[in-house]
């Protein structure tokens, strides 16, 4: 069953997503060569706390960190540790916060200082795929319309989508119905109704789509060692255009000026 949001619940959901978006923005700007991923996670924890929220990840199925920080060939669920970020690395930052009873979930891959053209193209195509998926989150469309838009853009650019992990409904809990795959799965034929809140999150590999999980039980890496990128927004299906709940004002106003 898909839980539709409205009224006070939707206000709280918007607030939670705004916090998640602002935290991600701050963490993305903080990332620089020489920091350990532990330091980045601690910075994120302080950002979440200062906004009166708490991490939706810490303790989720015993997850041990405040954020997911996935470097280079790490796809998602990377654990913070003593690894130092180096110029040219790419790091996927995933932030989930719990605030006013709801969860906001958002992610972005950023270059550490700068990166090569191949890595930049992977990030660009993944972010474009996210926005094409969001554009398909229209009332009376189906989940597969989102999946198709993402998969088509990724594969026509020569990259591949991860199959084992998918986007999802989000609300009072992190993972609600429906599942939102980044590939067409004909079983995912639910209609999108106004009030549906979903996390759309393409995970894109530069090489083959296959992944494996490291012995830490969490970190997902590409089997072929190729780079991977991840962009995610929590989105509200409305009666018209979708509303990107985790898009901070700062980025919006920057875009308006541009
Ligand atoms: N935020 C991830 C997602 O986008 C879920 C992370 S679960 C955790 O769905 F336990 F790893 F934090
Ligand atoms: Co996430
Ligand atoms: Co998510």
Q: Tell me: the pLDDT tens digits for 46-72?
A: 999 999 999 999 999 999 999 999 999
What DSSP state is assigned to residue 232?
Answer: B
> Distance from the CA of 252 to the center of ligand 3, in angstroms?
21
Mean of the pLDDT values across residues 25-47? 98
Mean of the pLDDT values across residues 128-150? 97
Q: Are 223 and 236 in contact (CB under 8 A)?
A: no
Q: Tell me: the pLDDT tens digits for 69-107?
A: 999 999 999 999 999 999 999 999 999 999 999 999 999
Mean of the pLDDT values across residues 188-196? 94
> Distance from the CA of 60 to the center of ligand 1, in angstroms?
8
CA distance 86 to 3: 42
Residue in 94, 98, 220 to alter for ligand 1 test, most ligand atoms within 8 A of Cβ = 94
In this predicted structure, the answer to whether residue 251 has a pLDDT above a threshold of 60 is no
In this predicted structure, the answer to whether residue 37 has a pLDDT above a threshold of 50 is yes
Provide residues with CB under 6 Å of ligand 1.
57, 60-61, 63, 68, 77, 94, 96, 105, 199, 201, 232
Closest atom of ligand 1 to CA, residue 77: 11
> Distance from the CA of 253 to the center of ligand 2, in angstroms?
24
Report the percentage of the chain scoring pLDDT > 90: 94
Mean of the pLDDT values across residues 219-242? 97
By the CB criterion, residues less than 5 angstroms from ion ligand 2 are 94, 105, 107, 232
Give the distance, in angstroms, between the CA of residue 35 and the centroid of all CA atoms in the same chain.
22
Q: Tell me, what's the pLDDT at 258?
A: 47
Q: Which ligand has the minimum distance to the alpha carbon of residue 65?
A: 1
The three-class DSSP label of residue 235 is: strand
Q: Tell me, what's the pLDDT at 256?
A: 57
Mean of the pLDDT values across residues 245-251? 75
What DSSP state is assigned to residue 100?
Answer: T
For the chain, domains (ranges, CATH) are 7-245 (3.90.230.10)
Q: Which ligand has the minimum distance to the alpha carbon of residue 216?
A: 1
Number of helices (H), then strands (E), in the chain: 5, 15
Both tokens of 25, joined, read 């923005």
CA distance 163 to 209: 7
In this predicted structure, the answer to whether residue 163 has a pLDDT above a threshold of 70 is yes
In this predicted structure, the answer to whether residue 257 has a pLDDT above a threshold of 80 is no
How many CB atoms neighbour CB 174 within 10 A? 18
Q: Are 202 and 159 in contact (CB under 8 A)?
A: no
The three-class DSSP label of residue 71 is: strand
How many CB atoms neighbour CB 163 within 10 A? 14
Taking only Cα atoms into account, the Rg of the chain, rounded to an integer number of angstroms, comes to 17
User: What average pLDDT does the chain have?
Assistant: 96
């Amino acid at each position: 069953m898909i839980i539709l949001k409205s009224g006070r619940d939707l206000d709280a959901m918007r607030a939670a997503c705004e916090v998640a978006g602002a935290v991600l923005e701050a963490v993305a700007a903080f990332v620089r060569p020489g920091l350990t991923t532990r330091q980045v996670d601690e910075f994120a924890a302080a950002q979440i706390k200062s906004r009166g929220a708490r991490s939706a990840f810490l303790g989720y199925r015993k997850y041990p960190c405040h954020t997911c920080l996935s470097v280079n060939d790490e796809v998602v669920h990377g654990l913070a540790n003593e690894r130092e970020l180096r110029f040219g690395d790419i790091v996927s930052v995933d932030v989930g916060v719990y605030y006013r009873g709801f969860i906001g979930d958002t992610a972005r891959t950023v270059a550490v200082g700068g990166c090569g053209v191949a890595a930049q193209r992977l990030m660009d195509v993944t972010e474009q795929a996210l926005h094409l998926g969001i554009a398909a989150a229209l009332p009376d469309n189906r989940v597969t319309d989102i999946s198709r838009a993402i998969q088509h853009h990724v594969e026509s650019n020569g990259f591949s989508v991860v199959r084992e992990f998918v986007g999802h409904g989000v609300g009072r809990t992190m993972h609600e119905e429906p599942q939102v795959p980044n590939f067409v799965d004909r079983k995912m034929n639910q209609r999108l109704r106004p009030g549906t809140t979903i996390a759309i999150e393409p995970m894109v590999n530069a090489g083959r789509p296959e992944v494996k999980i490291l012995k830490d039980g969490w970190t997902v890496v590409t089997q072929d060692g190729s780079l991977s990128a991840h962009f995610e927004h929590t989105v509200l299906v409305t009666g018209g255009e979708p509303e990107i709940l985790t898009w901070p004002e700062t980025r919006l106003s920057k875009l308006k000026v541009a």
